Amino acid sequence: MAGLALRVAGRQLSQRGGSGAPILLRQMFEPESCTYTYLLGDRESREAILIDPVLETAPRDAQLVRELGLRLLYAGQSGGAQADLHIDEGDSIRFGRFALETRASPGHTPGCVTFVLNDHSMAFTGDALLIRGCGRTDFQQGCAKTLYHSVHEKIFTLPSDCLIYPAHDYHGLTVSTVEEEPTLNPRLTLSCEEFVKVMDNLNLPKPKQIDIAVPANMRCGVQSPPS
């Protein structure tokens, strides 16, 4: 029932906002952590939102926001961090004629969310679903079984032409679709049991900067004052 209500609400929002209005979308890359930051804006009201910003590239993002004459309403990540606004499953984040629907997609971390544009044309999957991959589950209270269910239930149920924009890519790819991933993703095409085994044996090195990034994310990106 909740899923149905969300879809209906999404369609109504899309119509009220004038369906077909082109969203302003910029995908920006930070090479050290291979992170994508997304700037989304409404060309009419100039209201904008920034998804998955990285400390090192914050000046670049701020400059682009200024150059494009946008007014940033929200920026940040989720996950029990200190923040001005906490978001939950089903919450709608509005900017101009658009809105992002929040879908909880835990597994990489307990607080991971996927943001879906209200017309379901694109989804920002954070570290849950990567292109032909997925977020690791071996730290930050990750859980492979939870991630498997999140991706199958919250992302693969979107329309097949829905674009998938992840928070990271390590192979030079920029975007995927809900049509591609359920058939081509080498991890998420497995059974849940096989997936858990694969995830338990990834043996990846820790990402660079993770020991700095995690505590900073818990303070919404605010750095510790110098001692």
Ligand X SMILES: N[C@@H](CCC(=O)N[C@@H](CCS)C(=O)NCC(=O)O)C(=O)O
Residue closer to ligand X by CB (options 203, 227) is 203
Report the candidate in 43, 45, 102, 42 with the shortest Cα–Cα distance to residue 77: 102
- From 70-78, 79-87, 93-101, 126-134, span contacting Fe ion (CB under 5 A): 126-134
Query: From the CA atom positions of the chain, what is the Rg in Å?
Result: 17
Give the separation between CA 34 and CA 71, rounded to whole angstroms.
Answer: 26
Residue 133 binds which of ligand X, Fe ion, none (CB < 5-8 A, kind-dependent) = ligand X
Q: What's the one-letter identity of residue 170? A: Y
Partnered with residue 101 across adjacent β-strands are 92, 116
Helix/strand/coil for 184: helix
* 215 backbone dihedrals φ, ψ, rounded to 5°: -60, -35
Dist CA 147 CA 149 (whole Å): 5
Q: Does 170 interact with ligand X (rule: CB under 6 A)?
A: yes
When asked if residue 53 is in the footprint of ligand X (CB under 6 A), the reply is no
Distance in angstroms (rounded) separating the CA atoms of residues 161 and 121 = 7
Asked whether position 127 contacts ligand X by CB under 6 A, the answer is: yes
Residue 182 interacts with, from ligand X, Fe ion, none (CB under 5-8 Å by kind): none
The minimum distance between CB 111 and ligand X, in angstroms, equals: 13
52 binds Fe ion (CB under 5 A): no
Cα 28 from Cα 221, distance rounded (Å):
18
Shortest spacing between CB 42 and ligand X, in angstroms: 29
| Minimum CB distance to Fe ion, residue 178 (Å) | 21
Q: Which of 76, 133, 166, 221 binds ligand X (CB under 6 A)?
A: 133
> Phi-psi bin for 199: left (phi > 0), alpha (psi -120 to 50), beta?
alpha
**Is 127 among the residues that bind Fe ion (CB under 5 A)?**
yes
Nearer to ligand X, 2 or 204 (CB): 204
The count of residues interacting with Fe ion (CB under 5 A) is: 1
Q: Which residues bind ligand X (CB under 6 A)?
A: 108, 127, 133, 135-136, 168, 170, 204, 207-208
